[in-house]
Chain A
Amino acid sequence: MNRQHPLRRFPSALMAWRNLGRNRVRTALATLGILIGVVSIASLGMATAAIQQQATANLEGLSNEVTISAGPDNPNDGISAEQVDDIERLTGDATVVPERSNVTTLSARNGAEIRVRVTALTKADTVYNVSRGRISNRFRSGALVSQADARLLGIEIGDPVTYDGQLYRVQGILSSSQGLGGQQRVLVLPLSAMSDQNHYDSVTVLAEPGQSVEALTAGIESSFNTANEDVVRVRNFASVQQNVGSFLSTLRLGLLGIGSISLVVASVAILNVMLMSTVERQGEIGVLRAVGITRGEVLRMILTEAVFLGIIGGVLGVVVSAGIGVILFEFLLGSPLNAFRWQSVQYLLYGMLFAVAASAISGLYPAWKAANERPVEALRD
């Protein structure tokens, strides 16, 4: 008989819990409002985190690259072998990969044809990764095709591809996340495939970990070009990365703003629900005050009700958002568990905190109003 209710030590919580249980439909609707608010904040936040992770993964391979191509004042309309030597001298330990490029049509046995970019180079293993097959050490023979082209044309490892009348055996399929945009459509051949060409179309410099991409860019720039003569064009992706980064930050702020609006709407709903239920219970609160419950105790009780709505809606919202996050990360990145990295899981925390804070703020006025109602007035029906 003396079994105590677990909330007995927290009278405000006990009373708030019982009160919420009285009108379950109303409690459920208020909770649903908060849930939607939390889901919109948390899932939009997690979506930007997913996009960010994807962008970072894609840009990572490019961050140490400097690309050199012929400038408008280049007499050769390409980079000469001597210029490649100069670049090698200028860049020290960095790997220098000169390449020639062209465009060709690949055809499948079933007659399908696609246009692809062809690039011819020696140190293919320094620039490309394969998901299947391999890249031979000194890329003298064989070919590499992108995953997308291989799929389209039904090309398997060992199959032949033709370029300029020559047959090359496919020795590797490029992995899909290669460079900006993920799916570069390219056919990679040995340098000998374009031996008719004297100059190189571009030179890629792969900086070593200690080297600054910006410094390499500036060094090459100043040694080849003068103020009014652009012999070479030198580009790196550091600025691209920066731009993408700041774009994503803006995107995140915008999306979080939209998410917060729905939580503001939800807290207005809570304000309404709490006002309605305290007005309905005016007589009851008058009795509480008459039998000696203080204004502070009434205030705490009603505030606790509002906070409970926030906690229940918040927890449910976090559960739903975590599910949405897993789906998002599976869909965008193919790795669902990345959703639980701090970069994205932080938004679950923000959603929860926001829900509790918004509910508490919405509860303040109804609680204050109920607590300060004079018991004589409240008791007169």
Chain B
Amino acid sequence: MSVIVLEDAIKRYHTGGEVIDALASVNFRADRGEMVTIIGPSGSGKSTLLNMIGLLDTPTTGRVRLNGRDVTNFSTDELTEERRSDIGFVFQDYHLLPMLTATENVELPTMWDTEVDRRDRAIDLLNRVGLSDRLTHKPPQLSGGQRQRVAIARALINEPDVLLADEPTGNLDQDTGATILDELTRLKESENIAIVAVTHDEQLVEYADRVVELVDGNINT
């Protein structure tokens, strides 16, 4: 069973009398243990698609299924709950909170669950991405690659089923990008999760199990 499925998803924007279909009837799915890379020219709808998959946005028409459940009509708070428990996010700009330590940043998604203590898992995840000696550093004291590894650890804290990454290597040099991709590949297998990554980066395409190309809101197959 696919972790995440989009069925005939259309995302339509009305701006200044103009109608833009950022996504035009897209079908998409991702399975556990695979890395799907979404490529396409700027403005083709890659981020829009990723936002649908990540339950950050809902399609204008169409269905969204997470682990077989139809979540299309979930309320804002229900969607938030699903994101917290099943989806991990990695952003191009890392988006770590500067006043929190690496460990606290990793724990952030669980911060308000005061019953469970995820500190041990956070430290374990930081060890696994090679940051065991940077646990109490704050983001401004870390390099770009290190920050992105903290972000990956944060995405995994709640044992998600799918990890979404928008240009995860966009701000990193070739070598650092490669280590991040190695990291993601290892985690994909050890955690048995689906990874969906949006990229312009040729390098990332090489790591992909499957490539989806978007052109003007349509999937090219």
- The reply to whether the CB of A15 lies closer than 8 angstroms to some CB of chain B is yes
- The reply to whether the CB of B83 lies closer than 8 angstroms to some CB of chain A is yes
- The reply to whether the CB of B98 lies closer than 8 angstroms to some CB of chain A is yes
Q: Within A280-295, which residues are at the interface with B (CB < 8 Å)?
A: 283-284, 287-295
Given contacts A15-B111, A19-B99, contact A292 B91 (CB under 8 A): no
Q: State which of B83, B119, B120 has its C-beta within 8 Å of the C-beta of A292.
A: B83
Chain A contacts for B51, CB-based, 8 A = 376
Q: Are B57 and A291 in contact (CB under 8 A)?
A: no
Q: Within A296-318, which residues are at the interface with B (CB < 8 Å)?
A: 296-297
Q: Within A314-344, which residues are at the interface with B (CB < 8 Å)?
A: none
Chain B contacts for A8, CB-based, 8 A = 114
Q: State which of A11, A18, A292 has its C-beta within 8 Å of the C-beta of B84.
A: A292
- The reply to whether the CB of B20 lies closer than 8 angstroms to some CB of chain A is no
Q: State which of B56, B100, B109, B135 has its C-beta within 8 Å of the C-beta of A375.
A: B56
Q: Are B56 and A291 in contact (CB under 8 A)?
A: no
- Residues of chain B at interface, number, CB under 8 A: 33
Chain B contacts for A2, CB-based, 8 A = 119-120
Q: State which of B77, B93, B123 has its C-beta within 8 Å of the C-beta of A295.
A: B77
Alpha-carbon separation in the docked complex, A375 to B123 (Å)? 28
Q: State which of B83, B87, B112 has its C-beta within 8 Å of the C-beta of A11.
A: B112
Alpha-carbon separation in the docked complex, A296 to B108 (Å)? 15
Alpha-carbon separation in the docked complex, A15 to B107 (Å)? 12
Q: Are A297 and B83 in contact (CB under 8 A)?
A: no
- The reply to whether the CB of A109 lies closer than 8 angstroms to some CB of chain B is no
Chain B contacts for A81, CB-based, 8 A = none
Alpha-carbon separation in the docked complex, A283 to B210 (Å)? 31
Q: Are B80 and A284 in contact (CB under 8 A)?
A: no
Given contacts A18-B99, A289-B80, A291-B154, contact A379 B108 (CB under 8 A): no
Number of A-B contacts (CB under 8 A): 73
Main secondary structure on B side of the interface with A: mixed
Encoded as 1 (CB less than 8 Å from any B CB) or 0, chain A from 266 to 285 comes to: 00000000000000000110
Alpha-carbon separation in the docked complex, A21 to B100 (Å)? 11
- Residues of chain A at interface, number, CB under 8 A: 32
Chain A contacts for B91, CB-based, 8 A = 287, 379
- The reply to whether the CB of B97 lies closer than 8 angstroms to some CB of chain A is yes
Given contacts A292-B158, A295-B77, A295-B80, contact A284 B85 (CB under 8 A): no
Q: Are B98 and A291 in contact (CB under 8 A)?
A: no
Q: Are A293 and B80 in contact (CB under 8 A)?
A: yes
Select from chain A the residue with minimum beta-carbon distance to B98.
A22
Q: Are A292 and B114 in contact (CB under 8 A)?
A: no
- The reply to whether the CB of B141 lies closer than 8 angstroms to some CB of chain A is no
- The reply to whether the CB of B81 lies closer than 8 angstroms to some CB of chain A is yes
Select from chain B the residue with minimum beta-carbon distance to A292.
B84
Q: Are A291 and B114 in contact (CB under 8 A)?
A: no
Q: Are A291 and B83 in contact (CB under 8 A)?
A: yes
- The reply to whether the CB of B203 lies closer than 8 angstroms to some CB of chain A is no
Encoded as 1 (CB less than 8 Å from any A CB) or 0, chain B from 50 to 65 comes to: 0100101100000000
Q: State which of A290, A295, A376 has its C-beta within 8 Å of the C-beta of B83.
A: A290
- The reply to whether the CB of B76 lies closer than 8 angstroms to some CB of chain A is yes
Q: Are B109 and A293 in contact (CB under 8 A)?
A: yes
Q: Are B99 and A287 in contact (CB under 8 A)?
A: no
Alpha-carbon separation in the docked complex, A189 to B181 (Å)? 107
Q: Within A1-46, which residues are at the interface with B (CB < 8 Å)?
A: 1-2, 4, 8-12, 14-15, 18-19, 21-22
- The reply to whether the CB of B95 lies closer than 8 angstroms to some CB of chain A is yes
Select from chain A the residue with minimum beta-carbon distance to B83.
A292
Q: State which of A1, A11, A379 has its C-beta within 8 Å of the C-beta of B111.
A: A11
Q: Are A1 and B123 in contact (CB under 8 A)?
A: yes
List the 6 closest pairs (A to B, CB-CB), nearest first: A292-B84, A18-B99, A287-B95, A291-B109, A11-B111, A292-B83
A-B contact pairs, 25 of them (CB 8 A): A2-B119, A4-B119, A9-B114, A11-B114, A12-B112, A19-B99, A22-B99, A284-B95, A284-B97, A287-B89, A289-B80, A290-B56, A291-B89, A291-B109, A292-B80, A292-B87, A293-B80, A293-B109, A293-B112, A374-B57, A376-B51, A376-B56, A376-B57, A379-B91, A379-B95
Known: A2-B119, A14-B111. 9 other contacts (CB 8 A): A10-B114, A15-B111, A19-B99, A289-B80, A291-B88, A294-B80, A295-B80, A374-B57, A376-B57
Q: Using a CB–CB distance below 8 Å, which chain A residues touch chain B?
A: 1-2, 4, 8-12, 14-15, 18-19, 21-22, 283-284, 287-297, 374-376, 379, 381
